[in-house]
């Protein structure tokens, strides 16, 4: 996984993209796939949401646009988060750490989905 610099940041959201390289081997067949993904953290109504979109390697910009559209839709559908007080802030560094863990979990999910797809093609 190669995380890229955050490309969108506001008081209540942060988005960054990654390229993820997957290698799947099943029934003595191997397939390597590079996936583009965008992770967005969103503070809405005082709750942090993790939005994750992924697509083929060439569709990085699509993942970013889809994530931004999704973010705007969620914001419009929810109350605004509580105002930031001087004693409390939103620690984006901790969010990024947890986001990387979430990205790895999402990547493992995509890997399993790819393996299942490879098994289905092999049986056909």
* Distance from C-alpha of 64 to C-alpha of 42, rounded to nearest angstrom: 14
Q: How many CB atoms lie within 10 A of CB 101?
A: 10
pTM: 0.61
**Mean per-residue pLDDT, 26-35:** 86
The pairing of beta strand 8-10 with beta strand 13-26 = antiparallel
For the chain, percent of residues with pLDDT exceeding 90: 22
pLDDT above 70: residue 106: yes
pLDDT at residue 117, as a whole number: 64
27 CB-contact burial (10 Å; exposed 0-12 / middle 13-18 / buried 19+) = exposed
Domain range summary for the chain, segments of one domain joined by +? 2-123
Q: Give per-residue pLDDT as tens, 51-99.
A: 999 999 999 999 999 999 998 898 888 877 666 654 445 566 676 677 7
Q: Report helix, strand and coil shares of the chain as percent, to nearest 5.
A: 45, 35, 20
pLDDT at residue 83, as a whole number: 63
């Amino acid at each position: 996984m190669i995380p890229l610099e955050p490309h969108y940041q506001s008081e209540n959201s942060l988005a960054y993209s990654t390229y993820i390289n997957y290698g799947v081997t099943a029934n003595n067949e191997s397939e390597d796939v590079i996936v583009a993904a965008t992770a967005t953290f969103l503070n809405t109504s005082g709750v942090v949401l993790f939005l994750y979109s992924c697509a083929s390697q060439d569709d990085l910009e699509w993942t970013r646009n889809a994530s931004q559209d999704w973010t705007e839709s969620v914001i419009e559908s929810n109350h605004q988060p509580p105002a930031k007080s001087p004693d409390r802030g939103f620690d984006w560094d901790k969010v990024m750490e947890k986001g990387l863990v979430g990205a790895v979990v999402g990547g493992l999910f995509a890997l399993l989905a790819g393996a299942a797809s490879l098994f289905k093609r092999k049986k056909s």
